[in-house]
Structure 1
């Protein structure tokens, strides 16, 4: 029997999600990938649409491909984060729409048409690909998917050769990990990210036997090895499009818990983020190492 599904976390008062719905978000570790579903295997789908155009069209096309003909589809997004485009994009797939607005969201209810149009093109445009200008594999929706993040670049420029066992929390494409593994005295590096697409790209970008990969929330107690010699990170500070400084603070505390006494954390962050107090709470010694172009680097010793 076709099962109900949900992509993202739609607000309960804006979209009805049936009990037992299967989660398909790439940002929920352990969830099923929409790409892996057979055509017609979903009986219904509720989607909190991503803000990026390529990522959003990719997810909608995959959802329509997985739904059976006539199966209901509910899609919503904040008006200023893709919601204003939902009706046009779904119409281009051949859907007939019922559109409403509530709580600064656009909500579109439709059903899968008998013969959707343009699905293959949208799936291909949002799929993983080799970025020739970066020399890296990436995919729309991953953090800084088509450029090197300036904070990461600043950290790489000031990072000394590291040694021993370490971790890269929120590894993204693996750009920082590649720089860390340039040191021959690094014996192991655990790459951790809560984005399935990022972990898949990092596996292709970091072809080093010293590297291991985990699709997990770095804040989880089982996500990071213990008694590490070093941790590097460019922690996230947005959740659902809104700034959440507690995310980076939680990453700092997780890094401190994973390090051995005397181990070091190398952190890059936007200058305005108030991480110094948290660093001072959980580390014995905190040293600013660089600041440029709106970013800062700290070294912290446990």
Structure 2
């Protein structure tokens, strides 16, 4: 926000659209009338809502804006698609303003936006780089590149067409080996109402349904809406059993009970740092949600310190297998 607060940019009278918005004190240091935020990652969307910031409707048709703010993700195809969307959402004469941390690809991101929209202004501070377009005009944008980048993160088939995925999701272009290891060791005797916590594009859920005929219903919980939409598509034709798809932050709890829970918990949020606290919270939430006799099947990188949390919440814990840097753990409620 420094180019707006300290110059050289002005806050437009008709407000601005903020793509991949995240809450923080810079958004509250002064009034920014007409700010509309968009965020597909549920924990960040919830933080924005709690702060009283306006959130765009997921299915809404957004009007063109005089200013589009962007916090590009690390995955380059996803970031390029977001730059294309930002340019599309800017009205003639509007600007796109982006910011990236230096150690998360600021130089490359700035070069990409310049390729698309021409020469940029820039400001560096706090180990980050903010960069912005000149007032956009049709002749200043590379129309061919814009058309290409609109589709840069489009859903596409993976795993020999078994699933659809898209750039920016976890292990987006392959079956994650940790999830595959967990699926391989799921017993066929699992039965009852099941949940998949951190379901991604739906691989574990599909395996659970395929291997365990006794599963009577399945609920998928996923914080990233872009992944959940694909999970719904990927599982649509697999089973006639009841399925629920929840855009949900698992760490706040589930609010209902299950007989079986499977999970490959995330150990990052939207930054690079390891976040084992997320996995530990998944374990605690699973313990709260399982009925007596219920089972948790979880996989994680071998180095992640989940054993204490498992033993704190479950009296019966066993490591099923350690292989390829991963561990599969089974826990049961008494």
Q: TM-score, normalised by structure 2?
A: 0.82
Q: Which residue of 1 aligns with 2:297?
A: 266
Q: What stretches of structure 1 of length at least 5 have no aligned partner?
A: none
1:79 to 102, 105, 108: 102
- Which fold has the larger relative contact order, with Cα–Cα distance below 8 Å and residues 6 or more apart in sequence? 1
Residue 153 (str. 1) matches residue 184 (str. 2): no
1:238 to 261, 268, 276: 268
Q: SS where residue 242 of structure 1 aligns?
A: coil
Q: Which residue of 1 aligns with 2:209?
A: 181
Q: SS where residue 98 of structure 2 aligns?
A: strand
CA gap of 1:32–1:160, structure 2 versus 1, over 3 A, is farther
**Alpha-carbon shift at residue 18 of structure 1 (Å):** 2.9
Give the root-mean-square deviation of aligned CA atoms: 2.4
CA gap of 1:35–1:68, structure 2 versus 1, over 3 A, is farther
Q: Which residue of 1 aligns with 2:88?
A: 65
**Alpha-carbon shift at residue 113 of structure 1 (Å):** 1.2
Aligned length: 299
Q: Which residue of 1 aligns with 2:220?
A: 191
- Deviation string for 1:112-138 (max 9, x for gaps)? 511132222101121122236352111
Q: Which residue of 2 aligns with 1:200?
A: 229
Q: What stretches of structure 2 of length at least 5 have no aligned partner?
A: 1-12, 47-54
- Deviation string for 1:227-249 (max 9, x for gaps)? 21010000001122221111111
Q: Which residue of 2 aligns with 1:125?
A: 152
Q: SS where residue 68 of structure 1 aligns?
A: strand
In 2, Cα distance between the equivalents of 1:19 and 1:146? 40
- Deviation string for 1:170-209 (max 9, x for gaps)? 0001000011001221000101101111111111111233
Q: SS where residue 246 of structure 1 aligns?
A: helix
Q: Which residue of 2 aligns with 1:290?
A: 321
Alignment of 1:72-151 (within 5 A): 72-111=95-134, 113-115=136-138, 116-117=141-142, 118-131=145-158, 133-151=160-178
CA gap of 1:140–1:283, structure 2 versus 1, over 3 A, is same
**Alpha-carbon shift at residue 111 of structure 1 (Å):** 4.3
**Alpha-carbon shift at residue 139 of structure 1 (Å):** 0.9
In 1, Cα distance between the equivalents of 2:296 and 2:249? 18
- Deviation string for 1:135-172 (max 9, x for gaps)? 21111111110011111011011111220001000000
In 2, Cα distance between the equivalents of 1:82 and 1:107? 12
Q: TM-score, normalised by structure 1?
A: 0.91
Indicate conservation of the 8 Å contact 1:2/1:41, yes or no.
no
Residue 220 (str. 1) matches residue 252 (str. 2): yes
Indicate conservation of the 8 Å contact 1:10/1:46, yes or no.
no
